[in-house]
Structure 1
Amino acid sequence: MLVFSAMMSFLFVRGLDEQLVLGSSAQVWVTKSDDSVSGAQIARAIAAFSVDHKVAVARELPDVKHPDSRRHLYLASGDPNSDAASWVNDGYPAFSSHITTDVHPITEIGRRDPRGFYYVFGSPEAADALVAELADLGLGSSVQHPLAYSELAQYFAGDELLWSFWVIALAAVTMTGASVLLNAKAYGVLRLQGKSLMDLLARDLKQLAVFWSLTAGAVAAAVLVLLGLYNGLAWLGLFALVAVCLAGLLILSVLVAHAAALALTFKVEVLRALKGELPARAAFVSTYLVRIPAVLLALGFAMDVTLASQHVTARQDNQEAYAKAGNAVTIRLNGSWGGDSKPVVKQVGSWLRQADAAGEIIVAGRHDLQNLSSSARLPQGEILIVNETFLANQPVSDPKGQRYSPVPHNARAAEPHSVRLIIPESLASHASDIRATISDVFGKLDPDIRKRLKIETLQAKSGQQVFGYNSGDRSPNAAYSPDDDRSLLREPVLVVVPNGSNILTNDAYTTFATQDGIVFPDPGDVLTPLAENKYGLQAYVAAVNPVGQNAALMLREAVSSFRLLLFNLIASVAVLLITGVGVCIIHSRKHAQAVFAQHISGWRFTATHRLILAVEGILAAFLAWWVPAQVWRQNQDLAELTSQGIPAPFPPAQITALDLTAIAVLVTVEFGAVLLALGAFHRRIVKEGAVGA
């Protein structure tokens, strides 16, 4: 419990540090500006505010070239003795090694758009005063408290770390209860000596106190050494607080379990307790109250582990495609413009159109084929909206194996409203339906452009995979999970649009950019205009995101998720094993004489232990059929919806060979462990009975 609490605290605080700046009391999010004051004026106003209120205020900005691994804090501190004030000279005390935080005086922020996040270090009430101060400067903002307990609880409510905590708590309670019940004979002797329940509980806790003290000291020393090597003991107080809270909850749970199990032993008369007999009915109920949730958890984690392993494998296989993309980057837009997206669409869309016309970008936007039309029943798949530069970089072949080449710019200039629709041979029967709805892909087209739109329908060779430059996690598609890696699209429908054509609206360019569907093969084509602030890009473009680096980061996150799920699975299986053996112990101690009598009378093993085998058989059947039954039911619901012409709200469920293997292994472990333990106790009862006779 102590080791796990330290591990979980480490992962929790590391995740916080990668998402937020630690140590703040509040966060102010600026989303509106009337542009009445300059960035330098805002910086001076914040510096004066920090002095007046004796607090530190920091503006967070991502690094332009490495937004996922580096960030910048522009700090103003009105209290020279505060911890935050020392960061300018000593650096930010980073807990995580995955992200670097550079701290600068706020005067170095330059001419940056004021929209974004500001952290307040000091009195939480100062955040409200800062909002009022910014309002006087023409800025609209709101206060948030991301490090508040309520916010953290909501943020991590569905996190895998929380599931890990419940699994470990279940395992700790199970092991504690089993250890007490296994000492039933010793407790019987002590009861014979006149010890009460509270006397025995106090005795146990006194014995455990020495062991716990030594263990706590050893774990604390090891943690201090490891944290010292990892991050120089940064944020040790926060880490210790989280670890102590987690350990406290686990300790409380095992204390309750210890007392409850000890109380169970008092349900048996002293003389029977001296033989190690347990209160069978109450013990059985208690054991299965733990065993059944463990079965559900193990089954859920087994399915999650198989799915996570597939995600990891897919991302590993696609790394080669990303390596070929070289230094290509996508852009990350500033998300602090609130609901007013018109300036972003106008400025960014116009810039991207010019970059497209100059051949500087690759367009790789996505749409869901099945949901493209509400009237035509199209199959599951994806549409790639690409430009001619995409075809120059990614091979797409016709049925004869000839590669489609980009149309020269001068030829396209003659027909600016003509697009090529490339449909795989496998979808040839749907070609007319796809062609009829293809204009809807472009959104709100100008009526004149829609009227003059010409579509040339072509075919692509079946079985092709096309690299989409991103995993598709930012592109909404009901047929896929956000965790699926769709970097290589199998047999997509391609809509090839002339470079810089008005067929793609400014809104379409901007939307594709938010989905990592606008790629700059040469980072200089975006970094140069960004540095020169052309089109006012510094207000709209927060950073560039290297395509390969982003894929590597997502692979790292997938591997971390897989490891945590695997840990949860192992822990839940351990609970299954412990409770399985516990059931056998309770049964054998309660019915030892009956088992021996039935054995010498010629009863079969299955007849003697029919109750346990029947219950475990039901659990095994549940494990074997629950997932297939749920998949069948979900697909039946999906079929009913699609038969009514309603687009699928979720992807069809599938059971892979890996899923079936995991279920088979889990059933074998669940039933096999009980069978082996029951056989061992049966032989022991027969042997001891024969010797006694």
Structure 2
Amino acid sequence: MIFSAMMAFLFVRGLDEQLILGSSAQVWVTKTDDSVSGAQVARAIAAFSDDHKVAVARELPDVKHPDSRRHLYLAAGDPNSDAASWLNDGYPAFSSHITTDVHPIEEIGQRDPRGFYYVFGAPEAADALVTELADLGLGASVQYPLAYSELAQYFAGDELLWSFWVIALAAVTMTGASVLLNAKAYGVLRLQGKSLIGLLARDLKQLAAFWSLAAGTVAAAVLVLLGLYNGLAWLGLFALVTVCLAGVLILLVLAAHAAAVALTFKVGVLRALKGELPARAAFVSTYLVRVPAVLLALGFAMDVTLASQHLTAREDNQENYAQAGDAVTIRLNGSWGGDSRPVVKQVGSWLRRADAAGEIIVAGRHDLQNLSSNARLPQGEILIVNETFLANQPVSDPKGHRYSPAPDNARVTDSATVRLIIPESLASHASNIRKTIPDVFGRMDPEVRRHLKIETSQAKSGQQVFGYNSGDRSPNVAYSPDDDRSLVRDPVLVVVPNGSHILTNDAYTTIATQDGIVFPDPDDVLAPLADNTYGLQAYVAAVNPVGQNAALLLSEAVSSFRLLLFNLIASVAVLLITGVGVCIIHSRKHAQAVFAQHINGWKFTATHRFILVVEGLLAAFLAWWVPVQVWRQNQDLAELSSQGIPAPSPPAQITTLDISAIAVLVVVEFGTVLLALRVFHRRIVKEGAAEA
């Protein structure tokens, strides 16, 4: 019940940060024929809301703080509805990580109508709203993000699901163990004539009082904590999710309890009075839990070590982002309806003008190995940068002299000359890299491509260049999105003159979507947004502070690490419980044989060889599974490379941390069983000697 409440809290908080809660449907407007203005659309929505008695709200991110603040422009419709009260009382936020400001829809002004609209009320009103918008020349579709099917799909891809199954496994394990440890008591009750149904009814009756007390205590504590955290906002939704999660766990626990009690009936009453268990069935049942626990523990251990490396890298790079100061990137509106031509024309041309004026830093990324299918290039990254990048980030030649940006009088925007700076470590590939450079820029104008000149020089090996983002949005298939590649080691630099037509409008826009267009001075983007210069409000949704984005990714990395660590601890707990359970079953089944073999001089290892062999095999599996998988993966990558096919990922490596984690798991898995066997062995010998 405690875990269900914790999980429901994380789940509902995540929903609140992604969506506006309480809506019955979401309408996504992606097309417009520009026949009506934003103000006309707002008035039409207000009239629609009044006519249909439903609330309709437009969501917009905050221009300066898109990850921590959002704006809701609301047409109330029914003044007695919950959504209508938000205009006076504010949005009842469940999460404290994001602020939602609610405004009357009339205050939205001349904003582009494309985007997300929430409908609060009858779901069929969303279809009517789509029809109304179509009459205004807007193309829209209806979505139901809070429907059960959508929530299940959202939950299925979340790390919380793994936590749920680990806790379910732990609950089932502890329930089965608690029943089997009371085998003698069940034997006495069977001797008194209790049936299986009678025993289950007795157990449930005894547990009912404790469960009622536990449920009341948990509920009271949760209400107090939620009251302090968010004033009991969305308590009904939170309670529903909690009850559903707890209900599933309770059903699993009840099934495990019934199965374990039924298992005790597999032994005769007289043998049950001695605490004996049905060894074969109990062993099979225990290992059906123990083997998945081993797999989960191994998987989570590797995930924890990897997550710790990602977390450490992000923490180490915070200083670089601090040095970036107030620099921002832009966040583009994604509601284009699949037609990117208008945004490429407007945004791309604006970025070119800003580049020519020295207002932006260009830091685009490409994967070196995937640039060409003909040339066999090593793994690495290409940074497409402008002269302003070199002015802000130090890059040295082999003699230690820093590369300087071209003088202002040499920055000719129609120049067709680029500088290619290759690290010494890649000097042998210089010719092949040079041939692939025209492909880096995509669909260049044929005339520009024909006159393109490339000046090649070298950079000192071992340099790390700050890329202004972690590379999580760049099209580098050889890297995980979780990798923090803020510092790029030995990149190939392609330096393009500021504002040159070598970079097309499409290239500027693409790099912007990857957080590769940086404005050192936020006013250079906020000013044209405020007065809607070049019609930017339709396409640029917000600015994203570079440092704030890095801090957000660090926070997500911390949360992910904590959740994985929790899963690892829970799975190790299951390993401990099942290990002791195996020893209990073995000792109770073979108590007489163990005592007889002991007084006849048998060694401990010979007496318990079956358990030790089985656990030894599990330990060997734990020790060798990851190294074998890494070896096989690297063999596959080597085979791809030999065929000239770019590797989809870097060669896998086993770190010292990985080896340490595996070693600890082996010790826990085998050591627990060995220690428990020692304890039960001594008890059997002691009790046998006393009876003799």
Q: 1:213-233 CA distances to partner (integer Å, 9 max, x unpaired)?
A: 111111101000000000000
Equivalent residues in 2 for 1:177-192, closer than 5 Å = 177-192=176-191
For 1:292 and 1:509, how far apart are their aligned partners in 2?
Answer: 52
1:533 matched to which residue of 2?
Answer: 532
For 1:384 and 1:415, how far apart are their aligned partners in 2?
Answer: 21
| Letter aligned with residue 46 of structure 1 | I
1:446 matched to which residue of 2?
Answer: 445
8 Å CA contact 2:412, 2:500 repeated in 1: no
Q: 1:608-655 CA distances to partner (integer Å, 9 max, x unpaired)?
A: 111101111111111111111111111111111121111222332221
2:28 matched to which residue of 1?
Answer: 29
2:134 matched to which residue of 1?
Answer: 135
1:39 matched to which residue of 2?
Answer: 38
For 2:236 and 2:575, how far apart are their aligned partners in 1?
Answer: 36
Q: 1:239-279 CA distances to partner (integer Å, 9 max, x unpaired)?
A: 00000000010000000000000000011111100000001
1:86 matched to which residue of 2?
Answer: 85
| Letter aligned with residue 185 of structure 2 | A
For 1:396 and 1:474, how far apart are their aligned partners in 2?
Answer: 24
2:621 paired with 1:628? no
Q: 1:17-53 CA distances to partner (integer Å, 9 max, x unpaired)?
A: 0000000000000000000011111111101111111
SS in structure 1 of the partner of residue 422 of structure 2: strand
For 1:468 and 1:590, how far apart are their aligned partners in 2?
Answer: 64
For 2:464 and 2:161, how far apart are their aligned partners in 1?
Answer: 38
SS in structure 2 of the partner of residue 220 of structure 1: helix
SS in structure 1 of the partner of residue 156 of structure 2: coil
2:596 matched to which residue of 1?
Answer: 597
| Letter aligned with residue 615 of structure 1 | V
Following superposition, the deviation at residue 400 of structure 1 comes to 0.9
Q: 1:391-446 CA distances to partner (integer Å, 9 max, x unpaired)?
A: 00000011111111100121232981111101111111111111111111111111
For 1:60 and 1:413, how far apart are their aligned partners in 2?
Answer: 42
For 1:155 and 1:382, how far apart are their aligned partners in 2?
Answer: 33
8 Å CA contact 1:479, 1:652 repeated in 2: no
8 Å CA contact 2:283, 2:585 repeated in 1: yes
SS in structure 2 of the partner of residue 463 of structure 1: coil
For 1:336 and 1:132, how far apart are their aligned partners in 2?
Answer: 18
Q: 1:283-319 CA distances to partner (integer Å, 9 max, x unpaired)?
A: 0000000001111111110011001101110000000
1:216 matched to which residue of 2?
Answer: 215
1:514 matched to which residue of 2?
Answer: 513
1:678 matched to which residue of 2?
Answer: 677
For 1:323 and 1:589, how far apart are their aligned partners in 2?
Answer: 63
SS in structure 2 of the partner of residue 413 of structure 1: coil
Following superposition, the deviation at residue 607 of structure 1 comes to 0.8
8 Å CA contact 1:71, 1:100 repeated in 2: yes
SS in structure 1 of the partner of residue 420 of structure 2: strand
8 Å CA contact 1:478, 1:651 repeated in 2: no
For 2:477 and 2:629, how far apart are their aligned partners in 1?
Answer: 19
2:65 matched to which residue of 1?
Answer: 66
2:653 paired with 1:654? yes
For 1:122 and 1:439, how far apart are their aligned partners in 2?
Answer: 55
The ranges of structure 1 where at least 4 consecutive aligned residues each deviate by more than 3 angstroms after the TM superposition are none
8 Å CA contact 2:393, 2:466 repeated in 1: yes
| Letter aligned with residue 361 of structure 1 | I
1:341 matched to which residue of 2?
Answer: 340
SS in structure 2 of the partner of residue 386 of structure 1: strand
8 Å CA contact 2:413, 2:497 repeated in 1: no
For 2:451 and 2:198, how far apart are their aligned partners in 1?
Answer: 91
1:491 matched to which residue of 2?
Answer: 490
1:586 matched to which residue of 2?
Answer: 585
| Letter aligned with residue 390 of structure 2 | L
8 Å CA contact 1:177, 1:257 repeated in 2: yes
1:413 matched to which residue of 2?
Answer: 412
For 2:63 and 2:164, how far apart are their aligned partners in 1?
Answer: 37
| Letter aligned with residue 387 of structure 2 | E
TM-score, structure 2 normalization = 0.99
| Letter aligned with residue 107 of structure 2 | E
Identical counterparts, % of pairs: 88
Equivalent residues in 2 for 1:229-268, closer than 5 Å = 229-268=228-267
For 2:410 and 2:354, how far apart are their aligned partners in 1?
Answer: 19
Q: 1:99-119 CA distances to partner (integer Å, 9 max, x unpaired)?
A: 000000000000000000000
1:544 matched to which residue of 2?
Answer: 543
For this pair of structures, how many residues does the alignment match? Answer: 692
For 1:409 and 1:434, how far apart are their aligned partners in 2?
Answer: 28
2:589 paired with 1:613? no
Segments of 5+ residues of structure 2 without an aligned counterpart are none
8 Å CA contact 2:298, 2:665 repeated in 1: yes
1:313 matched to which residue of 2?
Answer: 312
2:351 matched to which residue of 1?
Answer: 352
For 2:458 and 2:89, how far apart are their aligned partners in 1?
Answer: 62
For 1:507 and 1:327, how far apart are their aligned partners in 2?
Answer: 26
What is the root-mean-square deviation of aligned Cα atoms in Å?
0.8
1:555 matched to which residue of 2?
Answer: 554
8 Å CA contact 1:385, 1:497 repeated in 2: yes
8 Å CA contact 2:25, 2:142 repeated in 1: yes
2:292 matched to which residue of 1?
Answer: 293
1:639 matched to which residue of 2?
Answer: 638
For 1:658 and 1:309, how far apart are their aligned partners in 2?
Answer: 10
For 1:653 and 1:141, how far apart are their aligned partners in 2?
Answer: 45
SS in structure 2 of the partner of residue 543 of structure 1: strand
For 2:195 and 2:114, how far apart are their aligned partners in 1?
Answer: 67
2:263 paired with 1:272? no
1:395 matched to which residue of 2?
Answer: 394
Segments of 5+ residues of structure 1 without an aligned counterpart are none
2:168 matched to which residue of 1?
Answer: 169
SS in structure 2 of the partner of residue 438 of structure 1: helix
SS in structure 2 of the partner of residue 576 of structure 1: helix
Following superposition, the deviation at residue 478 of structure 1 comes to 1.7
8 Å CA contact 2:55, 2:75 repeated in 1: yes
For 2:435 and 2:50, how far apart are their aligned partners in 1?
Answer: 65
| Letter aligned with residue 141 of structure 1 | A
8 Å CA contact 2:478, 2:647 repeated in 1: yes
Following superposition, the deviation at residue 360 of structure 1 comes to 0.2
| Letter aligned with residue 318 of structure 1 | N
Moved more, 150-159 or 374-383: 150-159
